[in-house]
Structure 1
Amino acid sequence: MKNTSRACSAIVLAADRNPADAVAVAAGVQCKALAPVAGVPMIRRVVQALQSTDAIDRITLVGPARNLLCSEAEIEYLLSAGELDWIENASSPSASAARALSGGNTQQPVLLTTADHALLDPAMLNYFLEQALESGCDFIVGVARLETVLARFPDTRRTAARLRGGPYCGCNLFVFVTERGRQLAHFWRNVEQERKRPWRVIAGALGGGAVIRYACGRLTLEQALERLSDKLGIKIGAVVLPFAEAAVDVDTPADLLLVEKILAT
């Protein structure tokens, strides 16, 4: 029996961004979430990790198309048995997140992750959620230092924010701790809509001085989040994860090969 005294619900963004996703094509499946890693579809790996975590009491998949999930027997069983929820995805990840966050108990913390987080495991989740729920913040993002990732996987390439004390890689782990924190989904959507110039939105929130410090490598993660918090009226924090695997999602066919190799060893 799970301890639900401070349980989160979980949202898994599982739809493809593009109709011909490179990972789906490489794996010969109809959507990326169904790409097998060591013989197990990524979406099943993520759901199993979430189910194995006492801090999660309900899981909702956002996408892919419902008929595509019929080919994944275990996921289909959980959906049919009412042990897993599904809603249709929206036009973008941020819009899908906003749609999922609009339902359910607004007082309950919500973990957000993605179906391509093939290395997600209970230890990672427990560490992240414990830190997030004790943070006193409205919203928490999970990051890992680039040096942590490269020490474990020296040949991988990861996008990293060049903040002092870092650089930091994103980990596709977020917690909307409070109802106020859910408002951040709207800011995310504004950033996403400025796809070619996202810094226009971010710079507006951080302020010119902070952007200059970032460009000079003098802005810390804490300073950046404090500026965003002040601007948006939402207390935003970060959990720095000690797990290199937390920063490895499957965005490309090369990533697919990497996670296969990691699981094989």
Structure 2
Amino acid sequence: MADGRKDPADKAAPSDHSGHRDRLRNRFRKTGESGFEDYELLELLLFAAVPRQDTKPIAKALLRRFGSFAGVLAAPPKLLTEIPGVGERVAEHLKVVQASAVRYTKGQVNERAVLSSWSQVVAYVKSAMAHSDIEEFRILFLDKKNGLIADEVQQRGTVDHTPVYPREVIRRALELSATALVLVHNHPSGDPTPSRADIQMTKQIIDIAKPLGVEIHDHIIVGRFGETSFRGLQLI
């Protein structure tokens, strides 16, 4: 660590964990992730960053603190290091795993037309945004064949508000020659129910976009407890 203190992962620990680790790895080879509880899969992830310590208590403490496997990966490094046994190296390792998961799901979207891979689109935006502790407003810019031109976070706000400027959204769409958009934002509260402000902002974007030949395919709100589609709610 930068301040000269030892990372908790470097602490000496009993040497009889190798058998447990080998058994867990062998189970994974046989069953894959489907045969594992969340804490066990988290244990496996921690093996690489915690070489000489029992990772089960750490994994269970992380899950208790952050609520879910996804919540652990999305947690800010500062909060991760508040958990006993989690130092900067462990926190960095978990953030790399999260970044890898987001990159993988984004690749699934990039490989095919957005509207024909809707489940991958939802999986991607949830992995990227659902557990963020601030609101973010993201736009997927599409071409005439619904292929992804660009994926951009337009605004970042506070825990319960993101400023969105409808004319700037459409200006950027015209710059990219996009013919359709998918709007996405997150609710850090976890509840993906659209607010009155969300509905009003979406209507403003649609009203500006329509005369310019830009279609709003959907507005998706994601949260820890699910996602909401404006089109599914017939708000578009």
TM-score by length of 1: 0.26
Structure with the larger RCO, 1 or 2 (CA within 8 Å, 6+ apart): 1
Larger radius of gyration: 2
